[in-house]
Amino acid sequence: MSRTRTAILASMAMVAGATGAAAAAAQADVGIAAIPCTVAYTVQNQWSTGFTAAVTVTNNSAAKSSWAVKWSYAGNQQVTSGWNAKITQSGTAVTAANETYNGTLATGGSVSFGFNGSYSGTNALPTTFTLDGVTCNVDGGTDPTNPPDPGTGTRVDNPYAGAKVYVNPEWSAKAAAETGGSRVSNQPTGVWLDRIAAINGVNGGMGLRAHLDAALQQKGTGELVVQLVIYNLPGRDCAALASNGELGPTEIDKYKTQYIDPIAAILADTKYAGLRIVTTVEIDSLPNLVTNTGSRVTATPACDVMKANGNYVKGVGYALNKLGDVPNVYNYVDAGHHGWIGWDDNFGASADLFKQAATAEGATVNDVHGFITNTANYSALKENNFTINDTVAGKSVRESKWVDWNRYTDELSFAQAFRNQLVTVGFPSTIGMLIDTSRNGWGGPARPTGPGATTTVDTYVDGGRYDRRFQTGNWCNQSGAGLGERPKAAPATGIDAYVWMKPPGESDGSSSAIPNDEGKGFDRMCDPTYTGNPRNNNNMSGALPNAPVSGHWFSAQFQQLMANAYPAL
């Protein structure tokens, strides 16, 4: 790897010997002070027609409230998309100006941005950079034949153990603005990268680098986990229109080069090597291929398409491979929830499919650190008032309408059992599970204090269950839900952490059709008047009214979640 100017100066000081050490050090300090700015330009990934580059600018002159970096290419390189800067190009000349959130550049401060570009022939590194018209020193810089060191961090068994977890300042501000929201606004939540634009930041919001930079500030001298949701597969969420994505069913190449590759390049920046980065890989994707395809009554044509073209499996495998190459990244694959995968005919088949995806596109099972269940869902963590082994009025609990022959009654028992199944099919015995407890508390005055009446198996189960949904297939803005267990590390055997991967207060989908530019449709499961379909046994949807598009702030839901929190706030 190329030596930086700082390293060269340091070596000069060492060569000077004891008698000249002070003089050499003084010369080095003068040299550094004389440089108004330095720029490190790194090509982090390159393929036959394109590349991903990262740029870090250090300002050694007066503090700035805005900035612009300029350079020119010797070849025909063309910037196609960028993040953490507004990048424009005219001919060979490129200008990268600050975003609204990163214009401040203190004396001695640095700012980083990145971009994807296209090229043909050679991809020569630019040699001259200016910061606000002043020429900068080129500090290092690497090319694809001499790639950057991705860091020397060694993964730990449980990334959450002994670590703080990143508090997303954008979510925290929304929560704190709500009446009573300051009680939870300091809780860590996931950062959702649900479209290509989210890498750079949407509508002036924080992009991935901005979040990672903020995480470094929160980290201090201890360990810190950053939680990212990787969520943009081609044909995303084939059975749920509310969370459809921007990429069509066949756009797997775009997913790889414009979504996963830029994310992987940013995460590989050595600046972030000290963070523990947890990725939740593609929620609600692989389980759909098990339960919503073929001759099943729950099948949808869109899921049949995704099973046939293999792009869910390819996409997940590619993400695991590329992200898993970064030493401080911990990949957790989404594993649905007990009310989806807990039935006998889904349980083993899902584990087998996850193994297929984890060995696709160059990935191996060692690229998987664990799995996450109940992401953005509502399944109760632990049902204490009945068990799967209970019998009432001559009938097993499994025969109740609520359990419906499922082998699990809650998320904790399912997650622990599914972990064992995953190890059985070939995943490492060291894998751990995460459980999203952001909205599965089901507290408040309606929370049962004991079992239901033993008149029938249904009165027994319905009278005692904490989860008050009409059916476990209901997933959209559920009425009566509450905040669940606060995030914590190693809470139970085989569980790495309880997490709030879904930020409480962000909608699951709109209650009626709302035009948007995010690729998100209207799903009747988010309509409070909807009477259901085979996937929820034709029950009412149980959704709250007046909900916005998925991912947008839903104040009424947030207030309900706080009111029904368990443990109570």
Catalytic residues: 284, 508
The two structure tokens encoding residue 557: 């839901």
Contact 31, 67 (CB under 8 A): no
264 phi and psi angles, rounded to 5 deg = -60, -40
H/E/C letters for each residue in 49-84? CEEEEEEEEEECCCCECCCEEEEECCCCCEEEEEEC
How far apart are alpha carbons 127 and 73 in whole angstroms?
8
Residue 411, CA atoms < 13 Å, CB-side half-sphere: 31
CA distances from 447 to 225, 293, 352, 561, 568 (A): 33, 36, 37, 13, 11
Closest to 252 in 3D by CA, of 303, 319, 321, 315: 315
H/E/C letters for each residue in 432-461? EEEEECCCCCCCCCCCCCCCCCCCCHHHHH
Radius of gyration of the chain (CA): 26
How far apart are alpha carbons 186 and 327 in whole angstroms?
28
Please, is 180 exposed, middle or buried when counting C-beta atoms within 10 Å of its C-beta (0-12, 13-18, 19+)?
A: middle
Closest to 228 in 3D by CA, of 277, 286, 185: 277
Q: For strands 110-118 and 68-72, give the pairing.
A: unpaired
Total residues found in the chain within this entry: 569
Helix, coil or strand: residue 523: coil
How far apart are alpha carbons 209 and 414 in whole angstroms?
35
Q: Which residue has the tokens 């490129």?
A: 94
Helix, coil or strand: residue 328: coil
The distance of Cα 236 from the centroid of its chain, to the nearest Å, equals 15
How far apart are alpha carbons 255 and 330 in whole angstroms?
20
CA distances from 452 to 14, 354, 387 (A): 78, 37, 13
How far apart are alpha carbons 294 and 292 in whole angstroms?
7
Per 3-state DSSP, the chain is made up of helix, strand and coil in percentages (nearest 5) of: 30, 20, 50
